Every structure is written in structure tokens, then in C-alpha cells.
Amino acid sequence: MSDPIAKPVPGVDIPPRPGQRTGTRFQRVLRTISLRQVTGAPRRAAGPGEVIFAAGFFGLSLILLLLLPFQTDWLPRTKAFVQPRFWPAVATLTMLVFSAGYLLRALAAHPSGGAWQEIKGCLRPLEFAAWFLAYVQLVPWAGYLLATALFTCALSWRLGYRSLRWIGLATLFALGTVLVFRSLLGVNIPSGAIYELLPPGGFRSFLMTRF
């Protein structure tokens, strides 16, 4: 009994046309079939923020590589591994290669939309950086203890921990931070201008030197 005739596979069992160059079909397969189609995995989705981030990281890597000859030296009669330019060049080239791959991967993915949500996610670290800058500006006026307590309580409120329990824990954390860094380690932090409002004496000096 003869074996049944197998069904032809489209694109594979079609014989080459007369005059068709060798490798044409292989090039077409490379262009049309991706690894995800072979493995059956769904195509990855990427938002516009990811593409912008990948492009920015690639541009930063390229700028660092172009500035490398102006920021580092190559010493004569010195081994390559100890050259001042060698390891920065390795690092920037690695950044460039991986950022280029990341950019291509983001460009090949499906656009997922939600640009505003991505922009909000990118701006959120800037918000907390602004909180910290405000805290730094407040220390010379309110003093280390009061400014740290206001900063930790404000962050607790901003993150959603708004009950008296969490506000109290944030205040205790601020007090512990001040005691460790200012009182025990003696970190040189300018005393607050608010202490000048206290009457002269030992208590004002104690607050200015310890808190």
C-alpha cells in the first residue's frame, strides 16, 4: 500500500520559476517571517513614550561616543587596557549597540496608544525631584528638623498615606533622620533662620547645633 500524498506547504513546496535567482525565496522568507511568527508569540505592544525614550537613549549614547576623543586621552607607549580612553569607549559602544537594538525593537512593536498615561508616568519622577528641591530650599529657613518633618509628612500625604498613624510614623522617621545625621554623625548642615527668633541662650544654641 502506497503512502498518501502529503499536502504541499505554501511557499516551501513551490518549485522555483525558470530564471529565478538562487536565494530569492530565502530573502523573501527573511523579510516576511519573524521569530515571533515562528514561535507563535503575540507581537509586543509599545507606547509612544517608549519609542521616545529609546530614541533619546540612543542619541545620548551617540553624543557620548562622539565626545569621547575630546574628553579622554590616548597615551603613547601604553597598553590598551590601561589607556584612559579604553574603558569609556567600551562602555559607550556597549550603550550604543544595546540602545540601537532597543530602538529597533520599539519601532517594530505595535503602537499601544495611551500617550498621556505614558507622559504622566515620565513626569512623576520630576514631581518628586521638585519635592526634594523644595525641601533643600526650606532647610536654611525652617531648620533641619522642621523641614525634614514637613518633607516626610508631605510625601506620606502625596503617596496616599494620610491617616494620623502614617503621619506620626513619618514624623518619627524625620526625627530619627535628624538625630542620626545631625546629632550623632555631626553632618554640617546650616541651622535654620527660624532659630534666630528664639531668645538667646543655651536652648537656642542647642537647637542650632543639634537640630
- pLDDT greater at residue 134 or residue 54: 134
Give the pLDDT confidence of 116-128 residue by residue, as tens digits: 777 777 778 888 9
Mean pLDDT of the chain: 79
Per-residue pLDDT at 17: 59
What's the distance, Cα to Cα, between the start and end of the chain in Å?
A: 97
Integer-rounded Cα Rg, in Å, for the chain is 31
CA distances, 183 to each of 20, 41, 148, 186, 206 (Å): 84, 58, 14, 6, 10
Give the pLDDT confidence of 146-201 residue by residue, as tens digits: 999 999 999 999 999 989 999 999 999 999 999 888 888 888 887 888 888 888 88
DSSP 159: T
Residue type, 138: L
How much is the average pLDDT of 89-102? 94
The rounded distance, in Å, linking the Cα atoms of 163 and 130 is 24
Q: What residue spans of the chain are helical by DSSP H?
A: 24-32, 35-39, 48-71, 86-108, 115-142, 144-158, 164-178, 202-210
How much is the average pLDDT of 36-65? 76
